[in-house]
Amino acid sequence: MSQILDAYRGLRLGDRWDGAPTVVRWAVMLLVIAFAFYLPYLNILPFAYIRTDLTSSGSDWASVLFLVVVYMIVAVGLNVVIGLAGLLDLGYVGFYALGAYSIALFGSTNSPVVQAMQSKFGLSEEWAVPFAVCIPIAITMSLIAGVFLGAPTLRLRGDYLAIVTLGFGEIIRITARNLDNVTNGAAGITQVPVPPGPEIDGRAFFNTIDAERWYWLALTILILIIWLARRLEHSRVGRAWLAIREDEDAASVMGVAGFKFKLWAFAIGATLGGLAGLLFGSKQQYVEPNAFMVNLSFLFVAMVVIGGSGNIFGALLGAFLLTYLPERFREFVDWRPFAFGVALVLVMILRPQGLVPSRRRAREFEDRRHEAEEAAADA
Amino acid sequence: MPDLTTPSSANSDEAVGLEDTSDHDLIEIETSGAVGETLLEVDHVTLRFGGVVALNDVNFEIRRGEILGLIGPNGAGKTTCFNAMTGVYTPTEGKIRFKGKEIAGTKPHKINHLGIARTFQNIRLFPEMSALENVMVGCDARHKSSVVGVLFRSYRVRPTEAELPESGIRRSLAKVFGVSRHTLEERAGRRRSMELLRFVGIADRAHELARNLPYGYQRRLEIARALATEPELICLDEPAAGFNPAEKEDLMGLIRRIRDLGHTVLVIEHDMKLVLGVTDRIVVLEFGSKIAEGTPEEVARNPKVIAAYLGEPDDAA
Ligand SMILES: Nc1ncnc2c1ncn2[C@@H]1O[C@H](COP(=O)(O)OP(=O)(O)OP(=O)(O)O)[C@@H](O)[C@H]1O
Ligand SMILES: [Mg+2]
């Protein structure tokens, strides 16, 4: 086993990537993105074997791709909180639920909130808050929830934070289930709005049949988010998070405002969780409390940890594996918890730092080699 | 006299780079007062941990531009004194004033921003970050980019001629749209960090993880990281602990050069000979109380100090 791992290390993909000229890197990046957009139509053998709809009982391929990307957004957000800032958040599903419920509560004609607004302001029964307005509402709600949860709890350390966030996730779900006259309770909210778009073949652009459009939308958002997250990672903000994770007391003596940066990590994580929830709720066109059980939180944490805490691409890989594999191998559905447990234990034993550990550790800034040479020359 | 916290065998085979570090491009820091005036005042500070009196009515001052030695046997309260000055502990009684401003009870990061930095007796680097990144965290203390500014590069500044990129398109773009403050700070921070690593003599391993560095490098890295925050007062807690005599001598030279850059230095050191050689004044603590203060000659002659040091059977250093 260790030989395999060594061989894997020998590939040194990260170093090669950094050593490649800018043109090559851009070309590779564009190719990967183009391929990702093409994935729903993938039909060339043998690659088509990765599709999940090869048997009649399989899941719709594009829908699986969509879910993978939504969970990737979740993983990028949670990676900021857990991987970079080192804050164990076990209630991430709470933000995911908040995002989904925000758009349902304000955008659906089926929502008691919208119905109350209709009767209060004498609006027609068709009226609901427009989709474009629902987005900032959902983002603001998750952000505010993140700040409100973080402000008192981020002064706690380690285990306490995990327990409080775990409670938060459950509180959101239970509230959604019990507030019958706001959220329709366990019945959930139907007619969650979809993004506007031109009608094609008499159907709305974003509908329940053409899942690939949802996938493309989510993928575009994901790419934007990765781009922004990397900016943060390679800045004083990312360094502050790492410093806090490594030694909070030493960091604060070095001038790092610990609480401020932890709260930012939390707020950014919450926002991304909310955004992912919004996409999920909108695509389903239906939200209900049972979609946001606590085990989803654990799945999210597992994605980040298995993939490689602190590394965006590790988190993406974790999200992909834990979403895609169960769908691809649906025949073995009974074995799912077992396989999941074994995989987790194996990763923890063989690669405790995750499948793709943070490359920051080996790799440095773009001009690493240049600087090293310079230093050697001066020494 | 106290034993050295780290067995000397641990580092004897990992000789610290003894290259000359006096050649550097660091410029003197800006200071806001005249040499010799009071910079920090420890005003009758008492600090208790339950029943333990770690500091008992300690009273001294640090003058701008000097190298002040803080010495005393094990458990005398030297590190506790540092902790009180850098906001880690709040004194039970008494006041600490920095540039005339009361700082006891202020958060550590705010005290750092006011201009006090320190190193730790038991090294506390960010082990999973490279040496360069460790120092950059220090530089960041002086940077202003916000999270929003980093995300959207929204805060733009007009670059000076030297900051403009060389190549054509980028240069014109920078001229028209300015450059984001974040980009400039990042660039300046990296350059300064590299310069600081060179200054303390460990630039050859700038890109290695802090935890993989040899012991002597780690000690120096702590100093570089503290210097990066541009402190007016830098407090070094046993920076030469575990060093062999040659390395110690080398470090004392570094301390002098730090002072020459405009920093005021407070240093804890057990080796009497070294302290006498490098410091301008010395404060002696024993059992939490100040027992002597003065120039190295005065302190070395002080019977109380001699008693305190000779009274300890394991006084070998
Ligand atoms: N957090 C704490 N809680 C309780 N007692 C403490 C604490 N920190 C320090 N002390 C006690 O305060 C006294 C002074 O300790 P301090 O670490 O300041 O000594 P020191 O002069 O730095 O000694 P050394 O030469 O060993 O570094 C000791 O008796 C120590 O046990
Ligand atoms: Mg000490």
pLDDT for B306 = 85
For chain B, what is the largest distance between any 2 Cα atoms, rounded to a whole number of angstroms?
Answer: 73
CATH number for the domain spanning B52: value is 3.40.50.300
Interatomic CA distance for residues A244 and A253, integer angstroms: 11
Give the total number of structural domains in chain A.
2
Question: pLDDT (tens digit, 9 = 90+) per residue, B41-52?
Answer: 999 999 999 989
Is B133's CB within 8 Å of A251's CB?
no
Are residue A24 and residue A98 in the same domain, yes or no? no
List the single range of A142-151, A368-377, B57-66 with lowest mean pLDDT: A368-377
In a domain, residue A341? The reply is: yes
Are residue B54 and residue B101 in the same domain, yes or no? yes
Q: Which of B20, B123, B137, B220 should we substitute to test contact with A (largest number of A Cβ atoms within 10 Å)?
A: B137
**How large is the average pLDDT for residues A287-307?**
91
Percentage of chain B with pLDDT > 70?
Answer: 89
Are residue A106 and residue A8 in the same domain, yes or no? no
Are residue A99 and residue A17 in the same domain, yes or no? no
Nearest CA in chain A to B120: A250
Kindly report the average pLDDT of chain A as a whole number. Answer: 86
Q: State the residue for tokens 């060093």.
A: B243
Nearest to B144 by CA among B112, B113, B181, B109: B181
Percentage of chain A with pLDDT > 70?
Answer: 90
Segments forming the whole domain that contains residue B150: 129-214
CA distance B264 to chain A (A): 17
In a domain, residue A42? The reply is: no
List the single range of A216-230, B147-161, B164-178, B187-201 with lowest mean pLDDT: B164-178
**How large is the average pLDDT for residues B4-11?**
36
Are residue B56 and residue B138 in the same domain, yes or no? no
CATH number for the domain spanning A271: value is 1.10.3470
User: Would you call B218 an interface residue with chain A, using a CB distance cutoff of 8 Å?
Assistant: no
CA angle B105, B109, B112 (to 5 degrees): 95
Burial of residue A210 (CB within 10 Å: 0-12, 13-18, 19+) is middle
In a domain, residue A170? The reply is: yes
Are residue A133 and residue A181 in the same domain, yes or no? yes
Nearest to A327 by CA among A61, A45, A48: A61
Q: Tokens in use for B202?
A: 């460990």
Are residue B77 and residue B108 in the same domain, yes or no? yes
**How large is the average pLDDT for residues A4-8?**
52
User: Would you call A230 an interface residue with chain B, using a CB distance cutoff of 8 Å?
Assistant: no
Are residue B47 and residue B76 in the same domain, yes or no? yes
Residues of A in contact with B109 (CB under 8 A): 252-258
B97 three-state secondary structure: strand
Q: Count each helix (H run) and each strand (E run) in chain A, helices first.
A: 17, 2
Are residue A6 and residue A79 in the same domain, yes or no? no
Is A253's CB within 8 Å of B112's CB?
yes
Are residue B74 and residue B109 in the same domain, yes or no? yes
Residue B75 pLDDT exceeds 60: yes
In a domain, residue A252? The reply is: yes
Are residue A12 and residue A89 in the same domain, yes or no? no
Are residue A16 and residue A87 in the same domain, yes or no? no
Are residue B47 and residue B185 in the same domain, yes or no? no
Are residue A92 and residue A16 in the same domain, yes or no? no
User: Would you call A257 an interface residue with chain B, using a CB distance cutoff of 8 Å?
Assistant: yes
Residue A379 pLDDT exceeds 70: no
Q: In which band, very low, low, confident or very high, does the pLDDT at A367 lie, cut at 50, 70 and 90?
A: very low
For chain A, what is the largest distance between any 2 Cα atoms, rounded to a whole number of angstroms?
Answer: 78
Segments forming the whole domain that contains residue A169: 61-373
**How large is the average pLDDT for residues A298-316?**
88
Residue B7 pLDDT exceeds 60: no
Question: pLDDT (tens digit, 9 = 90+) per residue, A82-95?
Answer: 999 999 999 999 99
In a domain, residue B20? The reply is: no
CB contact set of B219 (below 8 Å; sequence gap of 6+): B119, B123, B239, B240, B241, B242, B243, B251
Are residue A254 and residue A115 in the same domain, yes or no? yes
Nearest to A166 by CA among A56, A301, A275, A58: A301
Residue A247 pLDDT exceeds 60: yes
Q: Let me know: does B58 contact B289? Beta carbons within 8 Å.
A: yes
Are residue B92 and residue B238 in the same domain, yes or no? yes
In a domain, residue B123? The reply is: no
Are residue A227 and residue A353 in the same domain, yes or no? yes
List the single range of A107-121, A348-362, B25-39, B255-269 with lowest mean pLDDT: A348-362
pLDDT for B309 = 77
In a domain, residue B110? The reply is: yes
In a domain, residue A45? The reply is: no
Is A253's CB within 8 Å of B207's CB?
no
pLDDT for A174 = 96
**How large is the average pLDDT for residues B287-306?**
92
Residue A363 pLDDT exceeds 60: no
pTM score of the predicted model: 0.88
Q: Tokens in use for B48?
A: 């208790």
Question: pLDDT (tens digit, 9 = 90+) per residue, A331-359?
Answer: 777 787 788 888 888 877 777 777 776 65
Q: In which band, very low, low, confident or very high, does the pLDDT at B11 lie, cut at 50, 70 and 90?
A: very low
pLDDT for A5 = 52
Phi-psi region of B230 (alpha: psi -120 to 50; beta: other; left: phi over 0): left
Nearest CA in chain B to A353: B128
Q: Let me know: does A304 contact A83? Beta carbons within 8 Å.
A: yes
In a domain, residue B62? The reply is: yes
CB contact set of A183 (below 8 Å; sequence gap of 6+): A101, A105, A111, A112, A175, A176, A177, A189, A289
Give the total number of structural domains in chain B.
2
Strands A189-190 and A286-287: antiparallel
A41 vs A279, residue with greater confidence = A279
Are residue A27 and residue A114 in the same domain, yes or no? no
In a domain, residue A41? The reply is: no
Chosen domain end from B183, B214, B245:
B214
**Ligand 1 centre distance from Cα of residue B77 (Å):** 5
Q: In which band, very low, low, confident or very high, does the pLDDT at B291 lie, cut at 50, 70 and 90?
A: very high
Burial of residue A142 (CB within 10 Å: 0-12, 13-18, 19+) is buried
Question: pLDDT (tens digit, 9 = 90+) per residue, B89-111?
Answer: 999 999 999 999 999 889 999 99
Question: pLDDT (tens digit, 9 = 90+) per residue, B123-180?
Answer: 999 998 999 999 999 999 999 999 999 999 888 888 887 778 777 788 888 888 888 8
Sign of CA dihedral A139, A142, A148, A152: negative
Is A249's CB within 8 Å of B88's CB?
yes
Are residue A355 and residue A230 in the same domain, yes or no? yes
The finding on whether B78 has its CB within 6 A of some atom of ligand 1 is: yes
ipTM of the complex: 0.87
Interatomic CA distance for residues A280 and A327, integer angstroms: 17
Q: Which of B19, B107, B151 lies at the smallest CB-CB distance from A379?
A: B19
In a domain, residue B9? The reply is: no
Is B129's CB within 8 Å of A243's CB?
yes
Residues of B in contact with A139 (CB under 8 A): none
